Structure 1
Amino acid sequence: MMTGLSIITDNLDYLLWGRMATGEPGGVLLTLLMALGAAAIALPGGIGLASLAWRFPGIVRKALFAWAELIRGIPLIFVIFWMWYLLPLITGGDLPGALTVTMALAWFTTATVMHSVLAGLSALPTGQYEAALTQGFSTQQTLWRILLPQVLRNISPSLVGIFISLLKDTSLAFIVNVPELTTVAGQVNNRVQIYPAAIFIFTGVVYYLLCCSLEQFAKRWRLNRPAL
């Protein structure tokens, strides 16, 4: 048992930071960077697309739904593969692996956020929109100042679930050898070749703690935020 723990302590820096000293973040740090980067793209992107679908219920909404259903109907692992091979062709050069995976995660998550936000908008009483128009608000002002603040508060549990899934989905970066937590855990296991259970139990515990921390932070933010 103690030897198994020593495997973790001897490689803890690498599991947490990767090769940060040489400018190559990895492990838990890279996992968080990719999750935060994807969330920073997916949240405003999903809100923006949901707003378009709400504002234009005709062909625009149908096109956005078709795009979202296509993305959500494909396993994320294939989206990562496609991004891995297609982005260099589009940009004309190689991109960092972590950036490629972050873009794939963001693209996939944006579709889910869009559906969640649009469902929240559809659930609001239509009288609010009509009342705002009679008070002189434009459609855009009504959406951004009145409707979306309510929606984001109402669907915050759903958004937390989406971003917890996003955090766990960063582990799929191992398929293209991006050195996030799962990848470096595998590298440590391949190098030492003993006590794999200790290494991967530690990895699972780290993911659990990260997801629980995100959930607790969201709960505290929701409780401390003033009611609208």
Structure 2
Amino acid sequence: MTMLGQLDFSIVGPGLPFIWIGLLFSLKLTLVAMSGGIVLGTLLALARTSSKVAASRAAAAYVNTVRSIPLLMVILWFFFLIPLFTGAPMGAENSALITFTAFEAAYYSEIVRAGLNSVPQPQRFAAAALGLTKIQALAHVVLPQAFRNMLPVLLTQTIVLFQDTSLVYAIGAKDLLKAAEITGKNYNRPVEMYLFVALIYFSICFCLSTLVKCLQKRIAIIR
């Protein structure tokens, strides 16, 4: 009680501009990595389910390798090693955007692959019977059903992705956690700012989790 009584949350107000900037970057990183990750993940999933052995093995090697390495290590490797090859620094923000997109693609790939496998085989036969090519069947029959089935899992992975954005703190990117650190140091109240940011993380993740539960119920009704 004594420790709680010493907390002073009056500095939250003056610190909001810093927190807002950090939150915007965290949300931008989440949206970019989610969008790019789903696109690249879909391509990887299609390659893994392809009848072409070379494409399937290459995609499997990428996915298995990336999923076996901690995200923090990938962030640090990319941030420190890429400039050695390019000869020019990329900056913490750009490095984070590229790293997260490439990393998340491996996880979204497995979700998409499971979604593709969830579509009954007779659906593909029916599409072929209607004269659709493989690409047309994939675009108009398979993928729409697959994405509907895997939408809750995609959102769940996105929640994890949003939480993982705090790891860019390690390379100095100005995300939500970094904003809390800067504000806490400026006003000499780090505990209050970390608690406030933790509340923001919880609120956003809780709302998204509630949305996932609603989607799961809705999809279950459709089935």
Structure 2 length as normaliser, TM-score? 0.87
3-state SS of 1:178 partner: coil
Letter matched to residue 39 of structure 1: M
Q: 1:150 to 1:94 in 2, by over 3 A?
A: same
Partner of 2:171: 176
Deviating more after overlay: 83-92 vs 65-74: 83-92
Partner of 1:24: none
Q: Contact between 2:184 and 2:191, CA under 8 Å: does it hold in 1?
A: no
TM-aligned CA deviation for residue 124 of structure 1: 2.1
Structure 1, residues 57-115: CA drift from partner, whole Å, max 9, x if none? Answer: 63322221121111011000011011102333444422231111111111111000111
Deviating more after overlay: 139-148 vs 208-217: 208-217
Structure 1, residues 140-173: CA drift from partner, whole Å, max 9, x if none? Answer: 1111110111111101111011111111111001
Matched, 1:209 2:203: yes
Q: Contact between 1:87 and 1:100, CA under 8 Å: does it hold in 2?
A: no
3-state SS of 1:55 partner: coil
Structure 2 residue runs of 5 or longer lacking an equivalent are none
Q: Contact between 2:156 and 2:212, CA under 8 Å: does it hold in 1?
A: no
Q: Which runs of 4+ in 1 moved over 4 A?
A: 216-224
Q: Contact between 2:118 and 2:149, CA under 8 Å: does it hold in 1?
A: no
Partner of 1:107: 102
Partner of 1:58: 53
Describe how 1:93-132 pairs up with structure 2 within 5 A: 93-132=88-127
Structure 1, residues 193-214: CA drift from partner, whole Å, max 9, x if none? Answer: 33x3321111111111222333
3-state SS of 1:71 partner: helix
Q: 2:24 is matched with which residue: 29, 37, 40?
A: 29
Q: 1:16 is matched with which residue: 20, 25, 48?
A: 20
Within 2, Cα distance between the matches of 1:39 and 1:203?
22
Structure 1 residue runs of 5 or longer lacking an equivalent are 18-26
Q: 1:152 is matched with which residue: 147, 171, 189?
A: 147
Within 1, Cα distance between the matches of 2:188 and 2:100?
31
Q: Percent identity?
A: 27
Q: Contact between 2:72 and 2:167, CA under 8 Å: does it hold in 1?
A: yes
Deviating more after overlay: 163-172 vs 182-191: 182-191
Structure 1 length as normaliser, TM-score? 0.86
